[in-house]
Amino acid sequence: MIPAAIKRNLITQLGNALNTTVTFTEATLLTGGCINNAIKLNTDKGLFFVKWNTNAKANMFQSEYRGLKVLKDTNTICIPDVFGFDENFLILEFIPPSNPDNAFWENFGQKLALMHQQTHPKFGLEFDNYIGSLQQSNEQNKNWDDFFIQKRLQAQLSIGDFTANILSDFDKLFQKIPSIFPVEKTALLHGDLWSGNFLVKGGDTPVLIDPATYYGNREMDIAMSKLFGGFNSNFYFAYNESYPLENGWEERIQICNLYPLLVHVNLFGGGYINQVKNILSYYVA
């Protein structure tokens, strides 16, 4: 299941993290990921979650560890403990599956609002990371419009196979973006906030995983949460009660979601390009 060399290394790292000898007992393959392999690792010291990939991109797991640490250090929302990593794997605390109870979505909205109130003088981050398996440049910029255009939209357009018409429409859109977003402070973002990137712990506690962290406009996380069906309405109500969104945020959802849609076009192709075209046609018609 897991290559012997990786297993030896991760058991060694786990032992170092726990300051004891760890004995492997069983590994259970987990499903759901489309980029990395995942297992539930049974040991004599408990259960752990391991992501591994023999063809992982450079620094992929290191940047994920660093992103998780940035989020965890805010003490605002639950983040799994990390027990080790190298170029081919990441060892995390295992979170037993649980269904959300009546308090979960309200807690989630409130805690994300607290996380979004962590700010920085510049948009971006001190290190680059990944969204899916695509590199995400976080070169810092004091201006959100410039950062969003250059490091999010243009960055994806430059690596994809897009028609001249689509590129032309994006050029027209770029001229309008400075008049679309209100001026806001930076917010610490998860960066890839959809239903596959959080867990439910003990019924009432949201746990964020698989971040593509950076300081950005907080509407990016809110918009991404709505891209594939949306979260429970109590989440949005609790968030807005805790940290009210700027007027017109719902009209800006589509602009924000151009970034994850372009990521999906570049990763998976398919019908995502039609969603991109529909958004462009609305703004540049």
Q: Which residues are designated catalytic?
A: 192
In 3D space, the residue among 147, 176, 162 whose CA is nearest the CA of residue 284 turns out to be 176
116 Cβ neighbours under 8 A, 6+ residues apart: 187, 188, 189, 218, 221, 243
Q: Which residue has the tokens 């994920």?
A: 64
Helix (H, G, I), strand (E, B) or coil at 126: coil
Beta carbons within 8 Å of 168's beta carbon, 6+ residues apart:
none
Instruction: Write the DSSP string, 194-252.
Output: SGGGEEEETTTEEEE-S---EEE-THHHHHHHHHTS---HHHHHHHHHHSPPPTTGGGG
Q: Where are the beta strands (DSSP E) in the chain?
A: 24-30, 37-43, 46-52, 82-86, 89-93, 129-131, 134-136, 187-189, 198-201, 205-208, 214-216
Strand partners, 40: 28, 49
Q: Strand, coil or helix: what is 124?
A: strand
Closest CA to 66 of 192, 198, 214: 214
Q: How far apart are CA 7 and CA 81, in angstroms?
A: 19
Residue corresponding to tokens 């243009």: 154
